Amino acid sequence: MNIQHVLSDSFLSLNQPKESFLYAVVSDFLSQSFAVSEIKSFQWLEAALECASKEVYKQIEHGTYLFPTYKERLMGVITDYLVSRIGCSAEQLAEHLELELHRYCATPMECAAGELMSDILEHQAYWLCEFLCFIYCLENHIDTRPNEVYLNGRYSVFADAHNERLKIHQSALRLMERGQIEVNDYKDLELYFADFFMLLFSKDEVLQRRIANGIKVS
């Protein structure tokens, strides 16, 4: 399966968002969910994505209902797009990854692509959803400045957490654009973003080796 090619092509296209199909599916979802003029800031969008709409629900079992958040629905849109690009069903892809991920991986990049796709299928890659929303804010000139921590009273912890995520997104954007990041930014970026993203954009051989050494290749 062409998992590595699809992820590489989709992520590299984000350097030109207006030409990126991956960005387009995110932009379409957000535009249909919120008016651009309604989004006061990136932090506003982060908070809004955690809300659930009563108009959209899932019936899991008889009498059991779930109301997915906007973020969960957006993650589903991203997943559906990437699976369609790979050219199989989500069930076939999940089975392939479960049985063959570590059997046929020849390179750290190939393993990292498979591991990321597994996370995406299981809706465990919310960093990608959040990063794409950050790009959406930049493209639409929505405020992405950090929050004033000490002016938010008992909510200062939320402002501080948002500022930390914002810093990581900014580091990821620099990595995308320049192929390099500050040494001090590496640890946070490594913990938050996937190995595949780091390997794909990094032009630093030392950083590439450090990431690759932590990936098990069969």
Question: Tens of pLDDT along 125-142?
Answer: 999 999 999 999 999 999
Nearest to 27 by CA among 143, 133, 170: 133
Tell me the per-residue pLDDT of 44-100, one tens digit each, with 9 for 90 and over: 999 999 998 766 676 766 777 788 899 999 999 999 999 999 998 989 888 888 876
The pLDDT score that the predictor gives to residue 165 is 92
Confidence of residue 144 (pLDDT cuts 50, 70, 90): very high
The pLDDT score that the predictor gives to residue 167 is 92
Residue 169: count of CB within 10 angstroms of its CB: 24
**Helices 126-139 + 21-33 axis angle, to 10:** 80
Strand partners, 69: 52
Strand partners, 59: 65
**Helices and strands, counts by H and E, the chain:** 11, 2
d(CA 36, CA 209) in angstroms, rounded, equals: 41
Nearest to 75 by CA among 130, 27, 7: 130
Token pair of 168 as six digits: 């990581």
Instruction: Please determine, for residue 1, whether its predicted confidence score (pLDDT) is greater than 60.
Output: yes
d(CA 159, CA 146) in angstroms, rounded, equals: 8
The pLDDT score that the predictor gives to residue 11 is 97
Cβ neighbours for 74, distance < 8 A, ≥ 6 positions apart: 26, 29, 30, 49, 129, 133
Confidence of residue 155 (pLDDT cuts 50, 70, 90): confident
Confidence of residue 217 (pLDDT cuts 50, 70, 90): low
